[in-house]
Amino acid sequence: MKTGKLILICAIMGLLLIYLGLRLSEPERLEVSSLTKERLGSMVLLSGRVMDLNEHPDGHLFLKVGEENCTVSVPLFAGVRKRMEMGIELLDWVEVRGRVKEWKGELEVVPSRPEDIRIKREAPRRVGEIGRGEVGKLVKVWGRVKEVTKVGENFLLLTLEEDGKELDVFLPFSIGVRVGERIVAAGRVQLYREKLEVVVKRNTHLYFC
């Protein structure tokens, strides 16, 4: 009888230890704004929008995740990125599991596996949905290229058209794009000479349909 009770107690203790081990191994869920140097070396889970992304020539992708005026760096190194099933676009919603590190005085959350980052695609808006209320905001818009105008030596101005509406997209870089192509442009809305336009910061913020 005593042996049976002892076995039961040991089994319960074993289950408790397994449960505690799993809880301790789970990353702490944090808001981007609450990430501080006290978290260095710890595993965390955070989520937010991709407010900026920059591609390195070696295949790395560097993200800024969070919201306006409050972001954290998330480096996706080439070894992780090439195994991901889905690419990342500006303004996508992502959930990142990674270790908090510091690079050049800046905190970053570094995922080590493709499954450490979950992506929810942000659907692009129609040309006619972008109004003056969006000035200063990041948007993602899609449409058909109606016109391509060269500005200076290396810049382009695209005119997108959809359902009879038009919107200018300014590219401060040169890229191959043709009239009739459908594209998705992600950038910040501004007024230029009283006309709305979307300024696409990098070529990685322009997507061909």
| pLDDT score recorded for residue 27 | 77
pLDDT reported for residue 23: 41
Q: Which domains does the chain have, with CATH numbers?
A: 28-120 (2.40.50.140), 125-208 (2.40.50.140)
Q: What is the mean pLDDT of each run of 10 residues along the chain (209 residues)?
A: 55 49 60 89 94 94 93 95 94 96 94 96 95 96 96 94 95 95 97 95 93
Distance, CA of 121 to chain centre:
9
The pLDDT score that the predictor gives to residue 155 is: 96
Helix, strand or coil for residue 184? Answer: strand
- CA dist., res. 63 & res. 2, Å (int): 60
Identify the CA nearest to 49 among candidates 91, 109, 107: 91
Residue 149 amino acid letter: T
Of the candidates 113, 99, 122, the one whose C-alpha atom is nearest the C-alpha of residue 53 is 122
| pLDDT confidence of residue 177 | 95
pLDDT given for residue 17 in this prediction: 43
Q: Indicate the DSSP class of residue 121.
A: P
